[in-house]
Amino acid sequence: MTSVEKRYIHVYTGPGKGKTTAALGLGVRAVGAGLNVYMIQFMKGRRYCEINTVENIPHFTIVQYGRDEFVSKERPEQIDIDLAQKGFAHAREIVASNKYDMVILDEINVAVDYHLISLEDVLNLLADKPDSLELILTGRYAHPEITKVADVVTEMLEIKHPYQQGVLARKGIDC
């Protein structure tokens, strides 16, 4: 692990596009600086284009804990709860391992909002974060308690997007 000053907790949230993309960009920058990055995607099971790239970058690991299905906020299926819990248990292990300089918890804010992972568990993870770890949490609906604890909070706002005119996700740009 590279020796640096205290590292921070980042939150990328909001209704706009770019939260995962920003986290991936930060991860690629970190790898370019010689750091080790681990990304856990919650509620995602589809093979998104970023996986094709990241899996070919040394020192950048990405794993998914989700299905290729939308999760119902009102009635999540047991498999979605189980996958999120399994992913969070893995996140705790990775954070505690001290093997990584940066850990990205992609869509964890949504998993908390959907009650797949408890807010208390995430706050405990943040409180236990080693000073040597940069920790990034992404997803809409970041809980105010999470943003209060974070050192860096960025809200992505949708001002204008082709989705508003019925344009579907474009390969390589939106998915």
Query: Nearest-5° angle of CA 145, CA 72, CA 156?
Result: 45
Percent of the chain having pLDDT more than 90? 81
Residue 121 lies in a domain: yes
What CATH number corresponds to the domain at position 51? 3.40.50.300
Domain annotation covers residue 174: no
- Domain membership flag for residue 98: yes
State yes or no: pLDDT of 13 exceeds 70.
Answer: yes
Residue 121 neighbours by CB distance under 10 Å: 15
Question: Mean pLDDT of all residues in the chain?
Answer: 93
Q: Are 122 and 108 in contact (CB under 8 A)?
A: yes
The CA-atom distances, in angstroms, between 63 and each of 3, 40, 51, 124, 157 are 26, 5, 9, 22, 27
Specify if 172 maps to a domain.
no
In a domain, 175, yes or no: no
**pLDDT one-digit tens code per residue, 68-100:** 999 999 999 999 999 999 999 999 999 999 999
Structural domain containing residue 100: 9-165
Predicted model pTM? 0.93
Residue 101 lies in a domain: yes
Mean pLDDT of 96-108: 97
Q: What is the pLDDT of residues 15-68, one digit of tens each?
A: 999 999 999 999 999 999 999 999 999 999 888 888 888 999 999 999 999 999
Query: Whose structure tokens read 């940069």?
Result: 134
Specify the number of domains making up the chain. 1
